[in-house]
Structure 1
Amino acid sequence: MTDITDHLRSELRHRIRPMGGRNPRERGRSATPLELLYDLTYVVAFAAASDQLAEQLAHGDIWPALGAYVFAIWAVSWAWLNFTWFASAYDNDDLVSRLGTIVQMIGVIVLTYGLPVSFERAAHGESPNNLLMVLGYIIMRVPQILLWLRAARQDPDHRRNAVSYVVIISIAQVGWLLTAIIPLPVAVTVGALVVLAFFEMVAPVLATRWYGFSPWNAGHLAERFSLLTIITIGEVIAGTTSAVGVLTQKTGWSVEAVLIASSGLITAAAVWWTYFLVPSRLILERRPERAFPWRYAHLALFGSITAIGAGLHLTTMAMESGGVSLLGVALALAVPLATTIALIFLTWSVLLRSFDLTHLPLLLITLAPLAAAVVVGAMTHPGEAIDLEQPGTLTALSVVVGLVALGAVVEVVGHELVGFRHTLRAWRDDLDASPLSAVEPDPS
């Protein structure tokens, strides 16, 4: 009874507690309610980036839109990744940690408010960076500086690593602020943004090699990244709901509307299915040193999945106001899905340190329906905007969305029939090649 009372007191009274580091080998570690609350702000951020991408594509600003989108997704995803990395190592759910997390949530929302400005500036040939985005990003990162300082003071075993994160994050924030307030030529500013992003990603890897790792939990990280992946898949469902809602308002329910609705949901389910065909948690718990390249692959994966939702939002805009050809819609759906499938394969290869060429036939078969969707889009009223009043347009649109969904389904079926054997073989080969990792991961 005393143990239960002490545990309940700890759960209910969130006073300041020691931050000595979590056990990196703790089994069954799962996401906390605070982490799940934090993730809710990213639902808004990813949705805003998806909507802005769709709007700019509808206006024909393809390359500026893609540039602004990559910048936005990187900023949002990188801040989330750093929060998750710290929480996995030091989350003690005390008063300071909770308040620091809430401040970071405010930063996510401020950054989200800056996204429309970012895309608009890019469309006019300017840098996608702007002061509002930078302020939001800084609000997200400054609490992490303070928390890493706290960890450095209270966890002497990992002090040098924690201090290195303080230095890296501080230098980066000064750099981001300078790019927003100093008027420079667009090319110079964009170059500076690329250098800063590269610095933020590479410096922690080097610091970990020199000063050791923080006590993050590999299994916990696998769960956290999978949860954010599910959030990005939610954009596909939201895009499907929006597109079908507009269609039924214009034409009522029809066979085509049902096909588009089911195809969009099938695409979302198939992406989810494909992602979880990679046994990330199992492998990372045994090979924690592989978490570094694995996490970087997710930065692109979050963007590609969210972009599928943007393609569906673009479909909605095309049906509402026109201005977008069926070919444009087909490309906006097929390209991000193909990218997503390729990135999941890359994630598999990074985790298992294997590049299995026997996956290539399955990949080509998966891409065939996506290529067919693009062909249908190109052949249906070429050069003309989507007009649901034109005969055959609605049918062609439903066929395009259906073919995209078919490509996702082929990937799932192919893995369930034959692909899983490749994973088992690669895992056995990996076990034979080297012993399991030591208790403390070595990112080298």
Structure 2
Amino acid sequence: MRPRDPAEGHRTASPLELLFDLVFVVAVGFAASNLHEIESEGHVSSAVLSYAFVFFAIWWAWINFTWFATSFDTDDWLYRVMTFVQMAGVLVLAAGVHALMVDADIGLVVVGYVVMRLALVGQWLRAAASSPEYRRTALRYAAGITVVQVLWVLALVLPDAVRPWVVPVLILLEVLVPPFAEAGTRTTPWHTRHIAERYSLFTLIVLGEGLIASANAVIDGIAHADHLASLLVLAACGLVVVAGLWWIYFSREQHDHIRSLPTALVFGYGHYLVFAAAGALPAGIEVAVSADAGEADLSHATVAATIAVPVALFVLSIWALALRPSLPIGWNVVVVVLALAVLAGIAVPSVSLVATAVLVTAIVVVLEVAGRRG
């Protein structure tokens, strides 16, 4: 398992990586579906907290595989088998999403998560054995991941009252493993354009869930003719918002933001907010559909917030990570003000969704105008 050339030309996502991403579609879809159901029942705060935890497990397993693959993807039979083991862990995790988000039972999610992480440990050990120049870094990864997985398993036997205080500590330890492994050693040879492409592909996956939610709004509208007009407006606005977020994300090249270890960590960790916000958007659209049918026990402002908050969070996150350095200060201010205006629209819930679509479109126009002037 020799390291890949970080300057390799025409490096693109492999078919195995694409299949790996599709397995995560299942987990993301389950998380968004349960978020919608719990929010519709009026338990918004608990829904958001459980969704944030589940999405961390999904995102963290994906991001660690992605950064390993960009450096050591040999695509031989053993690498493929180990990757399929990680996919199996994703499916186990997905099967436990409902139990965690509804009953606070983390057992199955932890089992699937540990399977994914320990399979990656095997990959790091193989890299350590095959690549002397990266042996110390690889062994640090393997040791750090293993220790934290043991702690996750031990957390399963803790009393229910104690576990909520332990989980944030374990999450912190997880995110400290890469800085620990890479610091003071030779950093792994990531391919900046390949990483940027992998992140963009996962963004497409989570935004695609929003298109499905918009389609569901049309289907419900056809089935309930008395709500057809409002549901068509909802579907149209949902489509505009998803298209706008896509446009915003892909409006600038992003590989230049991951040149060093600190910038790579900021870029990678910051995308948790981007992905989680995009994954929560379809849940918000579905909540709006349920509210229109009188099936959601929520205030109008809360329904508006389930869409406006993910949209604003997505825009502000990708602005901070990739857009801000490419824009003059005046254009940066305009983008931030428009994103905050999306949040302000919650105060007028009757027009919040239409306002969100208009404001997202305005941000797209600003970025296009700024790009042409630049």
Query: TM-score normalised to the size of structure 1?
Result: 0.79
Match of 1:384? none
CA shift, 1:289, in A, is 5.7
Residues 1:306 and 2:279 aligned together = yes
Match of 2:23? 41
CA shift, 1:406, in A, is 1.2
C-alpha change, 1:304 and 1:221, in structure 2 (3 Å) is same
Residues 1:25 and 2:1 aligned together = no
CA shift, 1:234, in A, is 0.8
Residues 1:375 and 2:347 aligned together = yes
Match of 1:167? 143
Distance across 1 between alignment mates of 2:284 and 2:25:
17
Q: How does 1:350-365 map to 2 (within 5 A)?
A: 352=325, 356=329, 358-365=331-338
CA shift, 1:355, in A, is 9.4
Percent pairwise identity: 34
Q: How does 1:288-307 map to 2 (within 5 A)?
A: 290-307=263-280
Distance across 2 between alignment mates of 1:237 and 1:358:
29
Listed one character per residue, the Cα deviations across residues 313-332 of structure 1 (whole Å, up to 9, x for unaligned) are 21232234243333222111
Q: Contact 1:24–1:89 at 8 Å: present in 2 too?
A: yes
CA shift, 1:253, in A, is 8.2
Q: How does 1:252-401 map to 2 (within 5 A)?
A: 254-284=228-258, 290-320=263-293, 321-348=295-322, 352=325, 356=329, 358-368=331-341, 370-372=343-345, 374-377=346-349, 396=350, 399-401=351-353
Distance across 2 between alignment mates of 1:420 and 1:342:
22
Match of 2:358? 406
Give secondary structure in 2 for the equivalent of 1:60: coil
CA shift, 1:401, in A, is 2.6
Q: How many residues align?
A: 373
Match of 1:95? 77
Query: Which structure is larger by alpha-carbon Rg, 1 or 2?
Result: 1
Distance across 1 between alignment mates of 2:78 and 2:94:
25
Structure 2 portions without partners, runs of 5+ = none
Listed one character per residue, the Cα deviations across residues 92-142 of structure 1 (whole Å, up to 9, x for unaligned) are 111111111111111111111111111123xxxxxx451111100011111
Q: Select between 363-372 and 166-175 the one with higher mean Cα deviation.
A: 363-372
Distance across 1 between alignment mates of 2:354 and 2:78:
50
Match of 1:72? 54
Query: TM-score normalised to the size of structure 2?
Result: 0.93
Distance across 2 between alignment mates of 1:194 and 1:237:
32
CA shift, 1:63, in A, is 1.5
For 2:117, which of 141, 145, 158 is the aligned residue?
A: 141
Listed one character per residue, the Cα deviations across residues 285-342 of structure 1 (whole Å, up to 9, x for unaligned) are x667622210000011110111111101212322342433332221111111111111
Q: Contact 1:148–1:166 at 8 Å: present in 2 too?
A: yes
Structure 1 portions without partners, runs of 5+ = 1-18, 122-127, 378-395, 425-444
Q: Which amino acid aligns with 1:148?
A: W
Distance across 2 between alignment mates of 1:354 and 1:213:
30
Match of 2:367? 415
CA RMSD across the alignment:
2.2
Distance across 2 between alignment mates of 1:139 and 1:204:
19
Distance across 2 between alignment mates of 1:307 and 1:137:
21
Q: Select between 103-112 and 201-210 the one with higher mean Cα deviation.
A: 201-210
Listed one character per residue, the Cα deviations across residues 399-443 of structure 1 (whole Å, up to 9, x for unaligned) are 44322211211110111113665xx5xxxxxxxxxxxxxxxxxxx
